[in-house]
Each structure stands twice: as structure tokens, then as C-alpha cells.
Structure 1
Amino acid sequence: MSQSLIETLPPAQRLALAYTPARMKPATMALLALESRLAQAVRQASEPIMGQMRLAWWRDQLSLPFQKRENSDELMRALAAFEGEEDALCKLVDGWELLLSEWIDLAAIEQIIDNRAAGFAALARLAGKADATDATMRAGRRFALADLAIKFSNAEERGQVLEHAAADADERVALPGELRSLALLDGLARRSLRRGGTPLLDGPGSALHAIRLGLFGR
């Protein structure tokens, strides 16, 4: 695995990767690194059109067969682990693109979290755990909601996210060991949403919670 890609991950995602079974680490790292790269494209866009152009490049590249992509990018090479799941990665790009909208309503929030969860569902299928797709989508959606609550500075948008999450903020989802990374992120997301959208890792308490999730998955 690429250490330089691992270093692009936020602390919670880096910790989640550390508890991922060896067989699933390359694909998990690639997915989390793609999320990090797309988040950067949205965050650094001085105008929506600039962010849309960057995201369109990723969507176009991921729509191509691996051999025809711009493989000088190490992340693009790492995403070869998702061969056969390119549609899910393109959905992920679409989800991040919605964050460039001037106003994000409930319909957009629903689309964003579905599209981001699709990446984790693809990871489940790559792990041979297609039967866990529904649970993976629920956990992935909750992680995406917590991430939105943390990122949104607009109080009304943030309130919509927290209200949307309230219905199942405490629901536990059983995930296979191959998806320990998502189990850890989902557990931190539940904690964050219960506290009104606090950072996933906000002190010793959250760190201890993450370690327990990493070791036991719950």
C-alpha cells in the first residue's frame, strides 16, 4: 500500500484502515483515499465550476477501462482494486459534486449519503459479502450523515442533516469482519450524531471508543 495515500486520510479514516483485515486493506485504502481526494476538490474549489471540472475528470477516468486511464496518478492505480465496481465509484463522485450546490436540501442530502454509501457497498461485494450490502448501505449512510454534519457551517443545512439522522442514530448494524473499517467509522458516526455532530475523534473518549470498535466491531 502507498504510505503517501494513507497520509492523505483524516485521522478517523486512518485509524479505521489500521484495523482492516490485510486482504481488504488495498481496496479500503483506495476508497478512503478517493473520498479524501474528492473532498479536497470540493473544499478547494474557488467557484463551483472549478470543482465540477475536477470531479468530471475523475468521473470520466473511472468510466474508462483501467488500462486506458491516466495511471500516472497513484490513487488511480490503487483504484484498480475496484475493477467491476466502477459504477459505484462514479456514484461517489456524483455525491460529492452535489456539495458544490448553492443550497443543499433534503433531497440532495438523501442523494449524497446514498451515493457515498454505494462505495462501501462495492467494498462489501469485493469482499465476497454481497449479503451484507443492505447493512453496509445503512452504516455507510450514517457515516456520510455524520461527515456532513461536521462539514456544514450553514446552521440550517446542518440542522437538516441532524434531523435526518435522528431516526436511526442509535441503531446498531452488524457488519462482517472484512468491513471492520466501516464498523469503526459507523460507531464513531453514531457517537458524533448523538452529540450534535461533533468531530469523529474529539478527545480521549472517542479514541478509546474507536479502539474498542476496531478490536471488536461494536
Structure 2
Amino acid sequence: MDEPLLQSLPIAHRLALSYAPASAKADTLALLALDARLTGIVRGDGEAIIAQMKLAWWRERLSGDPEDWPLGEPLLALFKAWGGDTKRLVPLVDGWETLLGDTLDRAAVTSFSRGKAQAWSALGDGLGTGSTSSAIERAAKEITLFDLVRNLSRPEEVVVASNMADKESWERARLPRALRPLAVLHALSRRAWIGDKSHLLDGAGAMALAIRVGITGR
């Protein structure tokens, strides 16, 4: 496994990834590392136009033929062996770009969460889970909305994301074994959201939950 890419992930994502089956680990790392890369681009301190240019670069690569990709980019090298269709990751890039706007409204949040959901669905298809995409996309959207609530600073934007997250409707996700990292992240997010906690890994309770879901899926 590519250690620098692994180290680029948040701790909770690294923990979740550790429960991926061996056959799914590289593809899951690729998706998580791409999302971490896009996060850094959008949440960086540079000009918005620079961020847009970087996002456009990734959009062009993912929508193009892998045989035409430049050499020397470890993440692209990992995606060359990706089991899914990388073109289905373009909405993930588009969703991140919506966060560069002056105001985060419901349409932007919808685009952002949809991009994440479609990316996880593409991963599931690439891994041959044979599972319907609805449960996968629902879990990914809920995680995404909670993450927005945790990271937004403007009260009016927090309200938009919180209303769309709707903690009362969250249920335990039932996902295929190949997507065990998504199940772990969803369980941790659900626990933090319902318990009004600001961090996914806030102590022994969170670790116990991650271990249980990572092993059993429930």
C-alpha cells in the first residue's frame, strides 16, 4: 500500500480503511486519497481561481483515457488499476467546486453530497458488490452532510446542512463486506451526530464501535 497516500488520510479514514478486505483496500484507498486531495485544494489558503484550476486538472484526468494520464502522480498510478469507471468520479470534483462559491445554498450542498454518493457507488460497482446503489449512496450522503455541519463556520450555512442531514432519519447502514470502511465511517458519523459530538474518534466508545462494525458490519 502506498504509505504517503495512506498518511494523507484523516485518522478516522485510516482506521476505517484497515477493515477493508484485501481485495478492496487499494481501490478504497484511491477514492479516500482523491477525496483528501480535493479537500486540501478547496480548503487551502490560496485563491479560488487557483483551486478551480487544480480541480479542472483532476476533472480532465478522470474524464479522460487512463492511457493518456501523465506519469509521476502516485494517485493517478493507483487509479490506473481501479476496478471502477473513473469517469463516474467527475461529479465528486464538481461537488467540491460548488464549495468555492460565496454562499453555500441547498443546491450546492445537494451537488456536493451527490458527488460523494456517486463516487462510493462507483467504487461498489468496481468491486463487484452486486449491491443496489441506494444504501451505498444514502450512507455516503449522510456522512457528507454531517461532515459539512462539523466544518462550516457560517451559521446560515450550518442550518442548511443540518436541515438536510436530518439526524432523526438516520438508520444503521447495511452495506456489502467490500465497503466495510464506508460502514465504519457511517457508524462513527451517526454516533457523533446523534450524540452531538464534534469528533468521530472521541474516546473508547468510538473505538469500540469502529472495531465492532469493522468486524461484523453492524
Q: Please tell me the TM-score bracket, short chain as reference.
A: over 0.9
The alpha-carbon distance between structure 1 residues 156 and 75, as it changes in their structure 2 partners (threshold 3 A), is: same
Which segment drifts farther, 205-214 or 27-36? 205-214
Residue 177 of structure 2 corresponds to which residue in structure 1? 177
Residue 97 of structure 1 corresponds to which residue in structure 2? 97
Contact 1:149/1:197, CA 8 A, preserved across alignment: no
The Cα shift of 1:179 comes to 0.6
Q: Does 1:110 align with 2:110?
A: yes
- Cα separation, 1, equivalents of 2:178 and 2:42: 30
Question: CA offsets, 1:28-75, max 9 Å, x none?
Answer: 000000000000001114221111111111111112211111231101
Question: CA offsets, 1:65-93, max 9 Å, x none?
Answer: 11111231101111123365122211111
The Cα shift of 1:161 comes to 1.3
**Equivalences, count:** 218
Which segment drifts farther, 193-202 or 31-40? 193-202
Question: CA offsets, 1:152-191, max 9 Å, x none?
Answer: 1122211221221115543122101111010001111111
Residue 144 of structure 1 corresponds to which residue in structure 2? 144
Residue 39 of structure 2 corresponds to which residue in structure 1? 39
Percent identity, aligned pairs only, is: 39
Contact 2:131/2:176, CA 8 A, preserved across alignment: no
Please state whether the residue corresponding to 1:147 is helix, strand or coil.
Answer: helix
Gaps of 5+ in 2: none
- Normalising by the residue count of structure 2, what TM-score does the alignment of the two structures yield? 0.94
| Partner amino acid, structure 2, of 1:135 | A
Which segment drifts farther, 43-52 or 10-19? 43-52
Gaps of 5+ in 1: none
The alpha-carbon distance between structure 1 residues 107 and 196, as it changes in their structure 2 partners (threshold 3 A), is: farther
Question: In angstroms, what is the RMSD of aligned CA positions?
Answer: 1.5
Residue 3 of structure 1 corresponds to which residue in structure 2? 3
| Partner amino acid, structure 1, of 2:56 | A
The alpha-carbon distance between structure 1 residues 163 and 156, as it changes in their structure 2 partners (threshold 3 A), is: same
Residue 60 of structure 1 corresponds to which residue in structure 2? 60
Residue 23 of structure 2 corresponds to which residue in structure 1? 23
Residue 166 of structure 2 corresponds to which residue in structure 1? 166
| Partner amino acid, structure 2, of 1:194 | I
Please state whether the residue corresponding to 1:81 is helix, strand or coil.
Answer: coil
- Cα separation, 2, equivalents of 1:169 and 1:70: 44
The alpha-carbon distance between structure 1 residues 168 and 140, as it changes in their structure 2 partners (threshold 3 A), is: farther
The alpha-carbon distance between structure 1 residues 184 and 17, as it changes in their structure 2 partners (threshold 3 A), is: same
- Normalising by the residue count of structure 1, what TM-score does the alignment of the two structures yield? 0.94
Which segment drifts farther, 199-208 or 101-110? 199-208
Contact 2:27/2:83, CA 8 A, preserved across alignment: no
